[in-house]
């Protein structure tokens, strides 16, 4: 008996096929809502992005370590304490001149009426720099300090800058990553962290172009697998085994 391949998503040849935005990606106004995280899937693999949005077929996920979210919560509480005082946290005082935004927006939206789609983002933090310019700041926890900035982080900061600009928070096209890296020490006194801030040049124009590219892709037939996508490569290997 011939075995049938599983996850066999054949490329559709109908060029007039319309996008089928799934219900969990649409708000009450029937508008597609994308975020920096979903757009990073597009950056990583257009096929996986297309399947998630158009067919609600998401990449498999394993157990997510809660330590990262726990540290994120503690860092946010630390920053909020100094926000209430109107002061810059000591962790930042020797790294940048500025202050925390008095009221951090929970969510920022940009509604693109030309595509009937929206971009949504949730900033970890936002700084007010000289000349009343705003800059997104994002916390990152790692096992070691980075040697360069991951493309996913650059895209994320581009999108955050775009969101700030579209909500009348003028920027100077800069963003900041604040890395927390655990170091050796007396654990009974607490886990010591090394903190490093990295400045990133951002481009809201590049972010908007990328956002439109993602929307355009969704209106087309399913794209080919990305050569570097481990998810697509796993499925292709599995399908090859099933056909043997």
Mean pLDDT, to the nearest integer, of 219-242? 87
Residue 129, in any domain of the structure? no
Percent of the chain predicted with pLDDT > 70:
86
Residue 186, in any domain of the structure? no
Among the listed ranges 147-151, 169-173, 183-187, 235-239, which one has the minimum average pLDDT value? Answer: 235-239
Q: What is the pLDDT of residue 243?
A: 63
Residue 226, in any domain of the structure? yes
Domain ranges, residue 234: 23-61+215-243
The most distant pair of C-alpha atoms in the chain lies apart, rounded to whole Å, by 73
Tell me the C-alpha distance between 105 and 95, whole Å. Answer: 24
Residue 80, in any domain of the structure? no
**1 touches 232 (CB < 8 A):** no
Q: What is the pLDDT of residue 11?
A: 42
Q: What is the pLDDT of residue 13?
A: 42
DSSP secondary structure, 140-208, as one string: EE-SS--SS--HHHHHHHHHHHHHHHHTT--B-SEEEEEEEEE--S-GGG---EEEEEEEEE--HHHHH
Residue 57, in any domain of the structure? yes
Classify 239 as helix, strand or coil.
helix
Going from the C-alpha of 179 to that of each of 12, 22, 190, the distances in angstroms are 43, 35, 18
Query: For the segment 78-122, what is each residue's pLDDT rounded down to a tens digit?
Result: 999 999 888 899 999 899 999 999 999 999 999 999 999 999 999
For residue 113, the 8-state DSSP code is: T
Tell me the C-alpha distance between 217 and 202, whole Å. Answer: 24
Cα atoms in the 13 Å half-sphere on the side-chain side of 235? 17
Tell me the C-alpha distance between 119 and 108, whole Å. Answer: 8
- Our count of domains for the chain comes to 1
> In the predicted model, is pLDDT for residue 238 greater than 90?
no
Cα atoms in the 13 Å half-sphere on the side-chain side of 197? 14
Q: What is the pLDDT of residue 64?
A: 75
The residue ranking higher by pLDDT, 90 or 240, is 90
**160 touches 121 (CB < 8 A):** yes
Q: pTM of the full predicted structure?
A: 0.85
Residue 132, in any domain of the structure? no
Residue 42, in any domain of the structure? yes
Mean pLDDT, to the nearest integer, of 200-212? 98
Q: What is the pLDDT of residue 54?
A: 96
Residue 36, in any domain of the structure? yes
The residue ranges of DSSP E strands in the chain, in sequence order, are 32-34, 99-100, 108-112, 117-121, 125-128, 134-141, 174-182, 193-201
pLDDT confidence band for 242 (50 / 70 / 90): low
> In the predicted model, is pLDDT for residue 233 greater than 70?
yes
Q: How many CB atoms are located within 10 Å of the residue 38 CB? A: 17
Query: For the segment 32-49, what is each residue's pLDDT rounded down to a tens digit?
Result: 999 999 999 999 999 999
Classify 73 as helix, strand or coil.
helix
Q: What is the pLDDT of residue 90?
A: 94
Percent of the chain predicted with pLDDT > 90:
68
Classify 201 as helix, strand or coil.
strand
């Amino acid at each position: 008996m011939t075995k049938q391949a599983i996850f066999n998503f054949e490329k559709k040849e109908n060029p007039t096929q319309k996008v089928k935005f799934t219900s969990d990606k649409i708000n009450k106004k029937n508008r597609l809502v994308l975020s920096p995280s979903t757009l990073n899937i597009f950056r990583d693999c257009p096929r996986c992005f297309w399947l998630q949005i158009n067919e609600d077929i998401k990449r498999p996920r394993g157990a997510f370590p809660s330590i990262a979210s726990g540290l994120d919560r503690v860092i946010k509480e630390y920053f909020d304490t100094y926000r209430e005082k109107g002061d810059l946290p000591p962790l930042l005082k020797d790294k940048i001149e500025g202050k925390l935004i008095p009221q951090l927006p929970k969510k920022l939206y940009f509604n693109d009426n030309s595509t009937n789609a929206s971009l949504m983002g949730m900033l970890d933090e936002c700084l007010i720099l000289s000349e009343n310019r705003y800059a997104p700041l994002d916390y990152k926890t790692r096992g070691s300090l980075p040697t360069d900035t991951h493309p996913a982080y650059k895209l994320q900061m581009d999108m955050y800058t775009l969101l700030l600009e579209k909500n009348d928070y003028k920027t100077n096209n800069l963003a900041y990553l604040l890395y927390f890296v655990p170091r050796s020490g007396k654990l009974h006194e607490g886990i010591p962290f090394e903190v490093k801030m990295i400045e990133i040049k951002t481009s809201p124009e590049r972010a908007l172009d990328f956002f439109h590219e993602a929307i355009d892709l969704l209106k087309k037939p399913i794209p080919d697998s990305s050569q570097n996508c481990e998810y697509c490569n796993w499925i292709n290997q599995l399908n090859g085994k099933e056909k043997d």
